[in-house]
């Protein structure tokens, strides 16, 4: 899935970096093939963004974001300039539709466009539209299920403009939630029995938003977002220690805060996070036929906090693990295993985007 821009949509033909611009940092990941099914992590980097450079998924400070991307790319030390990027879910309308099987590509495009007209509240020439065939429709064998995605062109152009200004080339523009799910497939293999017939709650707790995606046999059965994230902890640190927001964010990531920080600020924040997750699961149970989840997988910047999995498991009474899509990958000698282990959960989207170079399309 990806909005085809300027006829370049053939990621398989060229190396590609996963470039995730989140609300707090720029993240770059480069993967290569290693054997038949395996991957190798060549390099990755995380560069903190100025406060509010990205707000509600919108790039509010273009220069600040471009500078961070330039610094990240330089630090990465790669010659690859092609990138896969992603839009936040709030910027994209997605819809599953059913179409007859056996349509030619051009017929399928016409069908998708006419269906899209019904669901998109903008003129079709104002949007980038893409679709992906999921497979046979569950109930009707001679029909196909197709996922369509549409975003206003200016939202796509904003992301592309950042890449251009940083001297990079945006080859693919994906959706953050879909990139995250691509990385989740690598995590699902780590669950007992490969996660088969199990209900898994993927919690992505970033800087400002916490999203819950519930999956069963690789299919999403529920999704919900709420305003809560690690930015709250950064603000608490800044206020408590008289730092700027940027200084607090850097100190938080580096683990260089004064003694007493863990008891005074970190422990209460982890309890709050666990409580928010517990509430999100209750919403899921009351609005679906499900009444339990088998596993919680924690992703996003908040999941890098040491011991957060135990706090969440205690509060929810559900087996909890930290997302690590790189667990079964080989690491190049440029990547330090300890650092990657600490950062892995915040690299879900970047990893999913980096996987786009292996797409058969």
Residue ranges with strand state E in the chain: 3-4, 17-21, 25-34, 38-48, 54-55, 58-59, 82-87, 93-100, 127-136, 143-152, 169-175, 199-205, 209-216, 219-227, 295-299, 320-322, 330-331
Contacts of residue 224, Cβ cutoff 8 Å, sequence gap at least 6: 211, 212, 280, 283, 284
Residue 2 lies in a domain: yes
Q: Cβ neighbours of residue 293 under 8 Å, at least 6 residues apart?
A: 199, 200, 201, 214, 281, 284, 318
In a domain? residue 98: no
- Whether residues 332 and 306 fall in one domain: no
| Residue 309 or residue 134, greater confidence | 309
Q: List strands edge to edge, sheet with 93-100.
A: 93-100, 143-152, 127-136
Residue 147 lies in a domain: no
| pLDDT reported for residue 360 | 67
196/258 same-domain check: yes
Please check whether residues 313 and 328 belong to one and the same domain. Answer: no
pLDDT in tens, 231-265: 999 999 999 999 998 899 889 988 889 989 999 99
Q: Please state the rounded mean pLDDT for residues 59-82.
A: 95
Q: Closest Cα to residue 91, out of 172, 6, 4, 153? A: 153
Mean confidence (pLDDT) of the chain:
89
| Span of 157-171, 250-264, 308-322 with lowest mean pLDDT | 250-264
355 and 315 fall within a common domain? no
pLDDT of res. 91: 83
What tens digit of pLDDT does each residue of 116-154 get? 888 777 777 888 888 888 888 877 778 888 888 888 888
- Could you tell me if 276 and 284 are in contact, meaning their C-beta atoms sit under 8 angstroms apart? no
In a domain, 165, yes or no: yes
Query: Do 167 and 185 fall within a single domain?
Result: yes
For residue 4, name the pLDDT band (cuts at 50, 70, 90): very low
pLDDT in tens, 178-225: 899 899 999 999 999 999 999 999 999 988 889 999 999 888 889 888
> Could you give the percent of the chain with pLDDT greater than 90?
59
Residue 12 confidence (pLDDT) above 80: no
Q: Please indicate, yes or no, if residue 68 is contained in any of the structural domains.
A: yes
Q: What pLDDT is attached to residue 2?
A: 52
pLDDT higher at 208 or 272: 272
Calculate mean pLDDT across residues 336-347.
94
Question: Comparing 80-84, 113-117, 295-299, which segment has the lowest mean pLDDT?
Answer: 113-117
Task: Quote the CA–CA distance of 280 and 83 in Å, as a whole number.
Answer: 34
Query: What would the mean pLDDT of 146-163 be, rounded to a whole number?
Result: 88
| Residue 37 confidence (pLDDT) above 80 | no
Q: Is residue 258 part of a domain?
A: yes
The pLDDT value given to residue 318: 96
In a domain, 267, yes or no: yes
Distance CA 122, CA 156 (A): 15
- In terms of domains, do 253 and 316 share one? yes
Q: Do 4 and 27 sit in the same domain of this protein?
A: yes
Residue ranges making up the domain that contains 73: 1-89+154-190+324-361
How many CB atoms neighbour CB 133 within 10 A? 13
Confidence label for 10 from pLDDT (cuts 50, 70 and 90): very low
CATH for 316 = 3.30.420.40
What does the pLDDT read at residue 160?
93
Domain count, the chain: 2
Average pLDDT over residues 158-168: 95
Same domain? 197 vs 274: yes
Specify whether the CB–CB gap between 172 and 9 falls below 8 A: yes
């Amino acid at each position: 899935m990806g909005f085809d821009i300027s006829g370049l949509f053939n990621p398989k033909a060229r190396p590609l970096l996963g470039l995730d611009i989140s609300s707090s940092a720029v993240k770059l990941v480069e993967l290569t093939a290693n054997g038949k099914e395996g991957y190798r992590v060549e390099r990755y980097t995380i560069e903190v963004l100025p406060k509010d450079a990205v707000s509600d998924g919108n790039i509010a400070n273009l220069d600040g974001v471009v500078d961070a991307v330039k610094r990240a790319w330089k630090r990465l030390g790669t010659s690859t300039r092609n990138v896969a990027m992603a839009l936040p879910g709030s910027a994209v309308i997605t819809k599953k539709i059913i179409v007859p099987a056996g349509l030619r590509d051009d017929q399928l495009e016409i069908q998708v466009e006419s269906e899209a007209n019904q669901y998109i509240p903008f003129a079709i020439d104002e949007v980038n539209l893409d679709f992906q065939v999921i497979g046979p429709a569950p109930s009707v064998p001679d029909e196909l299920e197709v996922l369509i995605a549409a975003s206003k062109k200016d939202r796509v152009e904003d992301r592309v403009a950042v890449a251009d200004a940083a001297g990079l080339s945006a080859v693919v523009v994906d959706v953050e939630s879909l990139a995250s799910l691509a990385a989740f497939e690598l995590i699902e293999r780590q669950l007992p029995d490969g996660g088969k017939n199990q209900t898994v709650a993927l919690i992505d707790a970033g800087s400002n938003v916490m999203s819950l995606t519930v999956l069963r046999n690789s299919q999403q059965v529920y999704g919900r977002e709420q305003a809560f994230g690690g930015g709250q902890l950064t603000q608490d640190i800044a206020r408590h220690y008289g730092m700027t927001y940027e200084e607090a964010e850097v100190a938080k990531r580096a683990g260089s805060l004064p003694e007493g920080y863990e008891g005074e600020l970190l422990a209460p924040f982890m309890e709050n996070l666990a409580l928010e997750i517990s509430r999100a699961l209750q919403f899921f149970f009351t609005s679906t036929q499900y009444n339990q989840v088998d596993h919680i997988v924690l992703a996003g910047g908040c999941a890098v906090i040491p011991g957060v999995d135990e706090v969440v498991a205690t509060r929810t009474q559900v087996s909890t693990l930290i997302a690590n899509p790189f667990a079964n990958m080989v690491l190049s000698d440029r990547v330090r295993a300890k650092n990657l282990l600490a950062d892995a959960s915040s690299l879900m989207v970047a990893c999913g985007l980096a996987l786009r170079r292996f797409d058969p399309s």
